[in-house]
Chains A and B, each alone.
Chain A
Amino acid sequence: MIRIKVLFFANFRELLDCSSLSVELDESASIGDLCDRIKDKGDSWFSLFANVKSDLNSRVKIAVNQEMATLEYSLKNDDEVAFFPPVTGG
């Protein structure tokens, strides 16, 4: 088993009422597997993570260890995964 730290920002954090979470997954699980795991935590989780593949880049951005990543990324123990909407700074 590997343990992953998951972070949520901006409206995702508010929608889920959660800023961070610790998740245990099988060795070399992907980000897609992580989304599958957390989508059943409630309605708002389902709305965000059930169709994450089609929403990727337009609505959902993913970073692993503070670098942009894709759903196929193979996770390692202690990885930090972040989900957030497209950025709006500047």
Chain B
Amino acid sequence: MDNKQIIITEKSLDLAELNHQIQSGQGEHGASVIFTGSVRIADGEHGLVAMHLEHYPGMTENELKKIVDNTKSRWDLNKTLVVHRVGRLLPGEPIVFVGVSSLHRQSAFEAAQYIMDFLKHQATFWKKEIYFKNGQNQAVWVSAKESDNKALERW
């Protein structure tokens, strides 16, 4: 298989189609793990109107490719697919999809987690949240979390 493993897109993610890409042909590889991350409806006391995702074209693809290559050298995987939205997203919409398949579940679980942990730390995306507050829309850049750095220590 040599399908595209990394996709950065402004279009809504078609989860059924992405699931199918990972899960088709289960007979050969036995286990698959799918992770999707979505825009939370409300963060804190104010309602989220939208999220804007910016990235560094070129570098983002390079960083994701490094992560996928490292993952494949660590675990014996069959399929690997990482899809990330950019642009304007609405509450509830998927931001990121990670799908992996392998012979047994252990490597699929671990590989999916490894990809997400490193994506959070290394892939050049930045989120801006738009809230409706005091009668108007206000934009806030999301701050990086210390817990995301800590998540790397287990690897």
Contact = CB atoms under 8 A, between A and B. Distances in A.
Interface of A: 7, 9-11, 14, 63, 66-67, 82, 84-90
B123 A10 contact: no
Nearest to A82: B56
A44 B124 CA distance: 23
B59 A87 contact: no
Contacts of A82: 56, 59
Interface stretch (B17-25, B41-49, B125-133): B125-133
Contacts of B116: 90
B37 interface: yes
Given A84-B124, A84-B126, A90 B95 contact: yes
A14 to B, nearest CB: 8
B144 A66 contact: no
B143 to A, nearest CB: 7
A66 B59 contact: yes
B62 interface: yes
Contacts of B62: 66-67
Most central of B37, B123, B141 by chain A CB within 10 Å? B141
Nearest to B126: A10
Contacts of B126: 9-11, 84-85, 87-89
Given A9-B124, A11-B141, A84 B56 contact: yes
Contacts of A63: 56, 59, 124
A89 B125 contact: yes
A11 B96 CA distance: 22
B54 interface: yes
Contacts of A86: 143-144
B69 to A, nearest CB: 15
B142 interface: yes
Nearest to B142: A88
B100 interface: no
A63 B19 CA distance: 34
Contacts of B95: 89-90
Contact of B125 (A11, A14, A66, A90): A90
Given A7-B56, A90-B37, A85 B123 contact: no
Contact of A10 (B37, B54, B119, B121): B54
